[in-house]
Amino acid sequence: MIDRRGVKPFLDGFKPLPEEDPDIQPLTIDEIKLIKSACQKKGQTYLEQTQFDMVLFAIDTGSRYRDIQDFTIKGINLPAKEITYRQHKTGKKIIIYIADDYLLSVLERRIKGKSPDDLVFPNTQGKIMYQPDFSEWLTNFAKSLGIVTRVSPHILRHSYGQNAYDRTGDIYLTQGLLGQKSILSTLRYVKNSRVKLKKAQKNHPHVTMDIPPQEMIEMIGKDFDGYMLSEDKRFDPLKILKLKHVLMEGLYEALRI
């Protein structure tokens, strides 16, 4: 667009960032744990078992449904604990490290006796699981668990990104985990939660000088608990509890009072 002076306005052609979708409410860590626990039970039918396995895969990898839908056996490398695929949307090659032992056992079960080009999560006819059918099942499944938030395959991906950002505080690392080309896309996936903003305000250098030392130590203890190391199978829970005790005790001893 040219104005009457023959000058093109500076912002002409500028496209604002898409607004956040108010219907997208990422699941909390507790809700994710509830869904994972329910999906680790044996399905009553082949179809339900496949649906359970797909949910676990989506939760632990943050993959788009389209990529999960077409995921083939050849993309699984169990010895390296890695999966590889090329995203439909971006064409980008994605490599994901599988840290969860249960998901590894799921993949080991699903590749047994299969050919490299076979689907990992086929329907009862051995073909792709269509998203509308899966989405409807997932929504009803979440409701049966008491989760009132609308749950869909894309909500699982959003939750993966949001919870990664909440834990790391690193938007670029979150971008890498989601396999997104543009940081602008990642910004649509994550937002600062009230808890995160409250924590940032409490830890701001203008404020911390006035926070009582005992309260600061309690905040450190809560941050330690937030990593849930005592529930991580890779750590000895008793040693983790002992470590926290030693840490807190050492901090209190270090107080100059």
Q: What is the mean pLDDT of the chain?
A: 85
pTM of the complete model beyond 0.75? no
CA distance 60 to 104: 11
Does 34 share its domain with 141? yes
* SS3 call for 102: helix
Q: What is the pLDDT of residues 149-208, one digit of tens each?
A: 889 999 999 999 998 888 888 888 888 888 888 888 888 878 765 666 666 676 676 766
Does 198 share its domain with 147? no
Boundary residue ending a domain (96, 118, 152): 152
Look up tokens 């607004």; give the residue: 19
247 lies in a domain? Answer: yes
CA 108 to chain centre: 22
C-alpha distances out from residue 86 to 5, 83, 94, 95, 141, Å: 50, 11, 6, 9, 29
Does 117 share its domain with 228? no
Give, in degrees to the nearest 5, the angle at Cα 102 between 100 and 106: 120
Boundary residue ending a domain (98, 125, 152): 152
Contact 145, 158 (CB under 8 A): no
Q: What is the pLDDT of residues 85-110, one digit of tens each?
A: 998 888 888 899 888 889 999 999 99
55 lies in a domain? Answer: yes
For the chain, strand residue ranges (E) read 76-77, 82-86, 93-97
